[in-house]
Amino acid sequence: MMSVALDGALSLRSRGELVCARQQVFISADLLVRLGATLVVACGAVSNRARHLTGLPLVEPLNTEFFRGHTAQNAAQWNGLLHHVLFADRSRFFQKLRILSDTVEHVVREFDQTAEDLSQGLAVQPANCWNMLDCLHYDFNTCLCESEIILKSFLRALPAEQLAAFALELDSLPAETRVRRRLRERPHMSRATA
């Protein structure tokens, strides 16, 4: 839904319907914050459960070419460097999870702030902000895909008797509250300006 909302905002902007585009981008940011919070909590749950396992899946470092923005490319570079410094596969697994989680938080925060600036008409260079939103969305999707790969690999390594408990753990975690505290609360949509 977040991608659909952002695509709608970009389409409205291209047609010159700026007020509606600003409202739509506000909605996409809210949806991204929610999805990002869920993804961060899921990464944390995988990390917590993985600490008790002996055989963790092997991971590859993040590829900087898969990202567009500076924040995500920098995180991928750090992950690549640490991947070659850390010799234990177990350490690589946890390091990649942590870097993915941190990157998601940073990308979501940047997206949220940029969307707020646009929705309130505060952006000094709106065209750059719209391009930045597209770039941040791309990087978030890349993080989402990387997280999905780690989760699938982790589920294959998780003993069958622990699968139900892990599913319950994922369902019971309050996704938004922990991460949303780190992101400042945005004003209501009614404050969006023309």
Residue 173 has a pLDDT of 63
Distance CA 53, CA 153 (A): 13
Please answer whether residues 187 and 119 qualify as being in contact, where contact means their C-beta atoms are separated by less than 8 angstroms.
no
Residue 131 has a pLDDT of 92
Residues in the chain: 194
Please answer whether residues 173 and 46 qualify as being in contact, where contact means their C-beta atoms are separated by less than 8 angstroms.
no
Distance CA 132, CA 85 (A): 32
Distance CA 144, CA 157 (A): 20
Distance CA 80, CA 65 (A): 12
Residue 55 has a pLDDT of 87
What crossing angle do the helices spanning 89-119 and 175-182 adopt, rounded to 10°?
A: 70
Phi/psi for 87 (5° steps) reads -90, -20
Distance CA 6, CA 21 (A): 9
Collect all residues with Cβ–Cβ distance below 8 Å to 138 and sequence separation of at least 6. Answer: 67, 68, 69
Mean pLDDT, the chain cut into blocks of 10 residues (194 residues total) = 78 80 87 91 92 90 94 93 87 94 96 90 84 94 95 93 88 59 45 38
- Coil, strand or helix: which one is 182? helix
Phi/psi for 88 (5° steps) reads -85, 130
